[in-house]
Structure 1
Amino acid sequence: MLFHAPKIAAELSIRHLNARVNEQRKKVAQMTASKLELLQLSQQLAKEARARKKNNEKVYVLDFKGDTAASAVESLREEITLILATAEAGRDRVVVRLESPGGMVHGYGLAAAQLVRLREAGFHLTICVDKVAASGGYMMACIANHIISAPFAVVGSIGVVAQVPNFNRLLKEHNIDFELYTAGEYKRTVTIFGENTQEGKAKFEQELQQTHALFKHFVEKYRNQLNIEQVATGEHWYGQDALDLNLVDELKTSDEYLLSLLAAHDVYSIETRKKPTLGEKLGLQAAQVADHVVPTLVNKVLQTLSQANSSLVQLRDPKL
């Protein structure tokens, strides 16, 4: 059977972080170091390159910045598919820089399932949290073999919440009827415009509790060192407290962690971006032209006004 790689409907960007950092090191050294120090730096960089070649371990870095709908999962799934198709499990590693306050259950469930693909394929997965990995964000983070958190990152919030406004009394005040037809006793439990019953509210609460139980079971499966009843209260914690509760394994920024890998590993950043439409490209080009042209026109107008004002001053106050 032939394997057909999935078509990636986005622009793929791959950066070799070692080369980028080393180029910056050279530029700084050229401005600040002596000839001897430049030579020593070149020798050091060559030594590191040989060590990386001998080690032959690659690290792939992905970024996930989550919104309420976890819309970044579309890029994440393509990036993970690329890694699974090209990298070697057991040798190469994956790092995900994760930032998310959580959101919709099905969206973050899918995002977490994408990371599970890496774990099940045998890749060592490290997740770095610099700012926040809460609720659905922590659902993703808990899958990692190793979780690294910045000292003041927000972690946890293992809970479920739902807010439903109800306008039924307002409609009644204005003599507006709202009719809802369903087939199935619990097809609709609570509504925005209808009159919610105690039975409907109880069923809705039951569904929230079921979702919470699934959430706790999922976290406990991948972080069995946790006291799940202690941390699954919906609370969040900052770095040190999260470490004490075993929600994370280490306190460090993602920058510090990645920098520690560069000497012995080839580190690649992978990013997919949606291809801009023709209209978006034209809009971008127009914006770039405006950014260039408008300041120039404004400067010319101001210069003309300034010259006119000088002429008027000279007419009012002539000097010999």
Structure 2
Amino acid sequence: MSVHYGPGTHISIPDAMLRLPFIALANLYLLLVSLLGAPFRMMAASHRPAYVRFRLTGDPPYRERRRRRLQLGGSRPEPSDVTSVERLRESLELLAKDGRVKGILLEVEDLAVPAAKRDALVAVLRAFRAQGKRVVGWAVHVDNEGYALLCSADEVLLPPMGRVELVGYAAESTALGVGLSRVGIRPQFIRRGDYKTAPELFTRPVVSDIQTRTVESFLDERYADLLDVVARGRRKTPEEVRALIDQGPFSARRAVDAGLADALVSEANLPAYLGLAKPGDGEEETELEPMETYLSTIPFPPVRWKRLRRNPRVAVVPVSGIIIPGKGASGKMATSETVVKALRAAGRDKRSKAVVVYISSPGGTPLASEQMLEAVQRVARKKPVIAYMDRVCASAGYMVAVGAKEIWSAPHAMVGSIGVFAGKFDMSGLMEKLGVHKTVLVRGQNAAMLSFSRGFTPQEEATLEAEVEEMYQAFLDIVAKGRGRTKEEIHQLAEGRVYSGVRGKAVGLVDQVAGFEEACRHALSLAKVPAAERFEIMTYGAPKQRVNLLKLLMGASHAQTYALCPTALSLNGLGGTEAFEDAARFGVADVVGRVFPDDQWPFGG
């Protein structure tokens, strides 16, 4: 805060001084609560657990989500659930200092994290083990990614009924051209870029060589990473791991025999295995306690004191899902109004000195992405903005990213797919087979351009080709300006080509390959914020609910087709994530449909 007394007079009153009374009262309250609870915690100290149980499931965020408003509803996590990478790190740092704690039991269930977040979790576990503590991994059923994380433990345990789905990676590409023609549907698409293969789903009789090579390049990277992680964790050679993968999947007993697991231990016998109880010793079953129970046995557990000088803060704006115009928010759709409002709020937040736009999107409409791009650019004129991706940032998603000052990516994230296409389905053949007759009446030569009742006229097709070319040139121009390159240079990298984060950096579409925490710290450094060990995150516009892509597709029977990066949708779920499952449900891993108003062109970013 500053006060002005006429020209040339400026007296600064630090905000911290104004906060001092409130900080003192808050800390006094925390102190009283801590002191009052200390006697009870002292009495419980003799029951302090030697092993603490953590359950890692789903896709926990990098940081605890702190929001301005209290949000009611929703299911509470289990006491042992890992709620964020940050909270796990803080918990293990505390446990590492306690000589009475021997280690942790890490239970893995339905893990759905990207490789970059898995690496962040592995780094936390590695630091804990470096302090002489033991990490015991246990799971009933794990896939490639879950098992790769378990490999960072000292021991891997499975129950007798357990399974290890260590089988490598597979991706399916579909070609519906012949099938659609047999039922009288004629796809009509115009694309810009040989590598923009999404329309091929509908137009080709077989999958193209370009699509096959693109998918194989990502399969090779993911597979090589899996070989390396398992080889290092289980002390085997990559060749040995490759041979084991070709023998998978494994029952629990076969996994132990193959050296992929160390022992068969049921959940009930875990305490006895860890030396916490003897089998048959008493009727009451010994439980492995969560972190909450451990904290109740420490006389003076850590207190989050209110600081006079607050930690630096980074605003995080997620762009998660297919980019579309309109309102609302969900885990599978990123709507323009929601993201733009979130970016504006992040720009107004005076405490947040930098912004990280977290993009996890296979693409969407140019209209919505350009709205988001403009909002990113406006914020970037006020404070540093970093775009970060650890899964996929393709097509229209990449268009949003180029508005940031720098683009950071995880090694195996998918970036690029700079290209566009547009088109429709001519349903006249199907309607004729069904005995359905339609008469199309127009006033204006292009008024029925997007009608499903007939194909394009020569003029309509020429108009659409011109629009696609114009959109592609605009896309190139946006990327060229954002990356400081010429349009010709970007064109050589574009036409729908998809890159991993590592390859994207090599060709100049990515500035740095690193993790989320590193991206946030770098954003603060660009804001000239002194390096701090801890910083806060404020998330704006986080998803609130999920939608079913199958229902969306089935409701789009009168839609103009809406383009995405096909490789992103088909590969984003490798390792068992929901994106691949959703695509598999309707057999289409390339494109989804959506109803658009007649005045919106159906161009794919």
TM range (shorter): 0.5 to 0.7
Q: Which SS does the other structure have where 2:447 is aligned?
A: coil
- Specify which structure has the higher proportion of helix: 1
Q: Report the CA distance shift for 1:182/1:264 in structure 2 as closer, same or farther (over 3 A).
A: farther
- Inter-partner Cα distance in structure 2 for 1:211 and 1:118: 25
Q: Which SS does the other structure have where 1:143 is aligned?
A: coil
Partner residue, 2:355 = 94
Kept in 2: contact 1:58–1:268 (CA 8 A): yes
Partner residue, 2:482 = 222
Partner residue, 1:118 = 379
Q: Aligned ranges for residues 167-246 of structure 1 at < 5 Å?
A: 167-174=427-434, 176-225=436-485, 227-246=489-508
| Alpha-carbon distance, 1:165 to partner | 1.3
- Counterpart amino acid of residue 108 in structure 1: S
Task: Name segments (4+ residues, structure 1) moved above 6 Å.
Answer: 20-23, 259-262
Higher RCO, 1 vs 2 (CA within 8 Å, ≥6 residues apart) = 1
| Alpha-carbon distance, 1:28 to partner | 2.7
Q: Which SS does the other structure have where 2:540 is aligned?
A: strand
Partner residue, 2:513 = 251
- Inter-partner Cα distance in structure 2 for 1:60 and 1:124: 11
| Alpha-carbon distance, 1:247 to partner | 0.3
Partner residue, 2:339 = 76
Identical-residue share of aligned pairs (%) = 24
Kept in 2: contact 1:108–1:137 (CA 8 A): yes
| Alpha-carbon distance, 1:195 to partner | 3.7
Q: Report the CA distance shift for 1:183/1:24 in structure 2 as closer, same or farther (over 3 A).
A: same
Q: Which SS does the other structure have where 1:185 is aligned?
A: coil
Can you list the C-alpha shifts for 1:66-125, whole angstroms capped at 9, x where unaligned? 22525343332222222232327xx81111111100012212222222212212x32211
Partner residue, 1:13 = 67
- Inter-partner Cα distance in structure 2 for 1:243 and 1:25: 29
Partner residue, 2:367 = 106
Kept in 2: contact 1:160–1:211 (CA 8 A): yes
Superposition RMSD in Å: 3.5
Task: Note the residue ranges of structure 1 that are not aligned, 5 or more in a row.
Answer: 1-11, 277-320
Q: Are residue 66 (structure 1) and residue 321 (structure 2) matched?
A: yes
Q: Report the CA distance shift for 1:62/1:167 in structure 2 as closer, same or farther (over 3 A).
A: same
Q: Report the CA distance shift for 1:256/1:172 in structure 2 as closer, same or farther (over 3 A).
A: same
Kept in 2: contact 1:135–1:156 (CA 8 A): yes
TM-score (norm 1): 0.66
Q: Report the CA distance shift for 1:167/1:34 in structure 2 as closer, same or farther (over 3 A).
A: closer
- Counterpart amino acid of residue 106 in structure 1: L
Aligned length: 247
Can you list the C-alpha shifts for 1:177-227, whole angstroms capped at 9, x where unaligned? 322233333233343112422222222122111111111111112112362
Q: Which SS does the other structure have where 2:459 is aligned?
A: helix
Q: Which SS does the other structure have where 1:60 is aligned?
A: strand
Q: Report the CA distance shift for 1:193/1:146 in structure 2 as closer, same or farther (over 3 A).
A: same
- Inter-partner Cα distance in structure 1 for 2:360 and 2:87: 28
Kept in 2: contact 1:59–1:265 (CA 8 A): no
TM-score (norm 2): 0.37
Partner residue, 2:74 = none
Kept in 1: contact 2:389–2:413 (CA 8 A): yes
Q: Aligned ranges for residues 28-43 of structure 1 at < 5 Å?
A: 28-34=92-98
Q: Aligned ranges for residues 121-140 of structure 1 at < 5 Å?
A: 121-140=381-400
Kept in 2: contact 1:147–1:248 (CA 8 A): yes
| Alpha-carbon distance, 1:272 to partner | 3.6
- Counterpart amino acid of residue 79 in structure 1: A
Q: Report the CA distance shift for 1:171/1:34 in structure 2 as closer, same or farther (over 3 A).
A: closer
Kept in 2: contact 1:142–1:219 (CA 8 A): yes
